[in-house]
Amino acid sequence: MTPDGSATQEEVFNATITDRQDLTSELTIVRVRPDGGKVPDFEPGQFIKLGLPRSEEECANLPSAARVRSTPRLIRRAYSIASSPRQRAYLEFLMVRVEVGKLTPKLWTLEPGGRIWMDDKVSGRFTLESIPPGKDIVMVATGTGIAPFISMLRTYADAPRWRRAVVINGVRYAADLAYRSELEALARDHSHIVYIPIVSREPTGPAAAWTGLRGRVQQVLDPHAYRSHVGAVLAPRDCHVMLCGNPEMIMSVQRMLEEQGFHVHSPAQPGNIHFERYW
C-alpha cells in the first residue's frame, strides 16, 4: 500500500495476458489467465470487467474523496467472454480499440505476459437460460458483439440447445469479421448452424476481394431474404432473436421484428427478442 492508503499497481494486478492475436490494427483477441489459475464459472453470454490503473494525471483529476480509495484508481470496462466455460485455462475476449477511450489505448500497449486487473465476479443475463430448447436462435451481431455468441457456439455446437442457430454478423470491412474461419468451419461441420456475414463498406468493383453480402444486418432479417439465405421462416412461434452490438442496430431490428409479431423478453413477460447493447 502507498502512504495514502491506495493500492500500488503490483497489488492491483491479479491476472496475466497469455496470448494476443491482432486481427487488424484496431481489433484483437486477448486471452487472460487469473492468478492462481482459477477461472470463474460463468454461462455463455455473460461478461466480466477488466481494468488497468489510472495514470497520475488521471488520479489527480479525481474528486478528493476518491483519491484515497484503491478501487477508483482503476479504469474498468465490461467485456463479454468469448471462450467456453469448459475452457478452464483462460478467459478470451474480443476487443476493439477506441481512440478516445480511456482503457483500450492502455490495453493496446500490453503484450503476452502483461499484467491486468480482472474482476472475480461474472455478470449478465444475455444467456440461453430463458430460451426454450428446440427453437431456432437467430444470433445477430455487429462488430465485437459476436463474442458472446462465440462462447455459446463453442459450448453447445456438439450438443445443441437449439433446432437451428443462425449467426448474422455485420461489420464495416471483411477484415473485421472476427472468428470468420471458425464460424465457417462450424457451419460446414454442423447442419444446425448457419453463418451469414455481411459487410457495409468493403470496396466494390471488378477487383473486389469480397464476394459475399453487402449492406446491414437488417437486410438479412427481411422475411423474404431470410428464407432465401437460411431456408427457413423467421417466425415468432419458432424463433428467438438475440441482438448484440450497436444500440442503433438493436433499436432498428427490434422495430422490424415487432412488426413481424416478435416482442421483447423480460422476466415479467417472456418474449422472443433478447438484446445486449455493446457500448
Give me the residue label for grid cell 450497436: 246
The residue among 123, 146, 178 that closes a domain is 123
Q: How many whole angstroms separate alpha carbon 212 and alpha carbon 196?
A: 9
3 within some domain: no
Q: State the total domains in the chain.
A: 2
Q: How confident is the model at residue 67 (pLDDT cuts 50, 70, 90)?
A: very low
Tell me the pLDDT of the chain averaged across its residues. Answer: 91
CATH assignment at residue 169: 3.40.50.80
The mean per-residue pLDDT over the stretch 242-250 comes to 97
| 178 and 118 assigned to the same domain | no
| 48 and 110 assigned to the same domain | yes
Q: Which helix (H) or strand (E) holds 146?
A: none
| 52 and 113 assigned to the same domain | yes
| 112 and 144 assigned to the same domain | no
115 within some domain: yes
The residue among 90, 123, 156 that closes a domain is 123
pTM summary value: 0.91
| 119 and 189 assigned to the same domain | no
Three-class DSSP category at 271? coil
The mean per-residue pLDDT over the stretch 250-268 comes to 96
Lowest mean pLDDT among 1-5, 84-88, 257-261: 1-5
Q: Give tens-digit pLDDT for 20-44.
A: 999 999 999 999 999 999 899 999 9
The whole-number pLDDT of residue 221 equals 97
| 140 and 273 assigned to the same domain | yes
2 within some domain: no
The residue range of the domain holding 233 is: 136-277
Contact assessment for residue 242 and residue 268, using Cβ atoms and an 8 Å cutoff: no
129 within some domain: no
Q: How confident is the model at residue 208 (pLDDT cuts 50, 70, 90)?
A: confident
| 153 and 112 assigned to the same domain | no
The mean per-residue pLDDT over the stretch 226-232 comes to 97
The residue among 123, 148, 172 that closes a domain is 123
Q: How far apart are the first and last CA of the chain?
A: 34
Q: Which helix (H) or strand (E) holds 105?
A: helix 104-107
User: What angle (nearest 5°) sits at the alpha carbon of residue 226, between those of residues 220 and 228?
Assistant: 115
164 within some domain: yes
- 251 half-sphere exposure, CB direction, 13 A CA radius: 3
| 116 and 141 assigned to the same domain | no
| 18 and 142 assigned to the same domain | no
The DSSP secondary structure of 161-211, one letter per residue, reads: SSSEEEEEEEESSGGG-TTHHHHHHHHHH-TTEEEEEEESS---STT-S--
128 within some domain: no
CATH assignment at residue 82: 2.40.30.10
Q: How many whole angstroms separate alpha carbon 90 and alpha carbon 70?
A: 26
131 within some domain: no
Could you give the maximum distance between any two Cα atoms of the chain, in Å?
67
Count the neighbouring beta carbons within 10 Å of the beta carbon of residue 156: 18
Q: How many whole angstroms separate alpha carbon 112 and alpha carbon 26?
A: 17
Lowest mean pLDDT among 5-14, 47-56, 74-83: 5-14
Q: Which three cell numbers stand for residue 64?
A: 478528493
| 270 and 142 assigned to the same domain | yes
Q: Which three cell numbers stand for residue 111?
A: 503484450
4 within some domain: no
Give the percent of the chain with pLDDT over 70.
90
